[in-house]
Structure 1
Amino acid sequence: MKKNNMIYWTTTSLFSAMMLFSASMYFTSPEVGAGFTKMGFQDAFRIELGIAKMIGALVLLIPFFKGSIKEWAYAGFGITLISASILHASIGDPAANIIAPLIFLGILAVSHIFWKKRLQAAA
């Protein structure tokens, strides 16, 4: 049980920290804004995605949130990361920009697996 908790909190904290950092860059970095423009998105989408990332990261981190809302956060992040990888590939970005979201998808998957294991152990 202790190992499961350690793996869960390590992966969840790492993933959430990355999403919070990413979201903050959506609001503060002109380069990120330019990247969204290059991909054909308006500023409203960048702002919406930044807010959604912040909320999702908090949902994953705060134990108060349980059940369906946490599942939706995991699903939303999964869709976002897969979409980011596909989008970066489609516009010819460097391999690092294509692979990074998939690495974080792997970390998210480990977090989800160990969240489920913790739920099963508590039941």
Structure 2
Amino acid sequence: MSTTTKKTRIIYWTSTGILALFIIPGFFFAGSEMALKGTAHLGLPLWFHWELSIAKFIGGLVLILPFFPKRLKEWAYVGLGIDFISAFIAILAVDGAGGMWYSPIVCFVFLVLSYTTFHQLWADKKY
């Protein structure tokens, strides 16, 4: 294995792991008072909160587990990307530039890093 491929694998699994550690446990706290108040604060309906929590949990699992097909991983990246961009817009629209507006951007950066290294590894068939 070349040094470049090894470095790419480390970056891929680190960025994907950090992303999964942020996304997957959130599902288990979706019913918490803080999560429900945060959704209400943004003006989103309760059904959307649950739908998004379940979808993010599934998307996080698809990214972290290696046996899922490439096409399904692509859709997980797309869905999570839309989620992070939408969260950024929603937080800015409601709270302005204060608060945790940067949190979805940080997650989006890890998502893009994971996505680009995933494709580098897939092109080299070293995934």
Matches within 5 A, 1:14-93: 14-27=18-31, 29-92=32-95
Q: 1:108 aligns with which of 103, 107, 111?
A: 111
Q: 1 CA distance for matches of 2:12 and 2:99?
A: 26
2:44, 2:102 → 1: CA distance? 21
The yes-or-no answer on 1:8 pairing with 2:16 is no
Q: Which runs of 5+ in 1 are unaligned?
A: none
Deviating runs (4+, > 2 A) in structure 1?
21-25, 93-96
| Secondary structure of the structure 1 residue equivalent to 2:100 | helix
What's the secondary structure of 2:44's corresponding residue? coil
SS of alignment partner, residue 15 of structure 2: helix
Distance 1:96 1:9, change over 3 A: farther
Distance in 1, Cα, partners of 2:99 & 2:8? 30
Say if 1:85 and 1:101, in contact at 8 Å, map to a contact too. Answer: yes
- For 1:95 and 1:122, how far apart are their aligned partners in 2? 44
Q: Distance in 2 between matches of 1:58 and 1:41?
A: 25
Cα deviation for residue 61 of structure 1 reads 0.6
Q: TM-score, structure 2 length as denominator?
A: 0.89
Q: 1:10–1:96: structure 2 CA closer, same or farther, 3 Å change rule? A: farther
Which blocks of at least 5 consecutive residues in structure 2 are unaligned?
A: none
Asked whether the equivalents of residues 20 and 57 of structure 1 are also in contact (C-alpha less than 8 Å), the reply is yes
TM-aligned CA distance change 1:22 to 1:95, over 3 Å: farther
**Number of aligned residue pairs:** 122
What is the aligned-residue identity percentage? 32
- Greater share of residues in helix: 1
CA contact (8 A) 1:74 1:112 kept: yes
CA separation in 2, counterparts of 1:65 and 1:106? 22
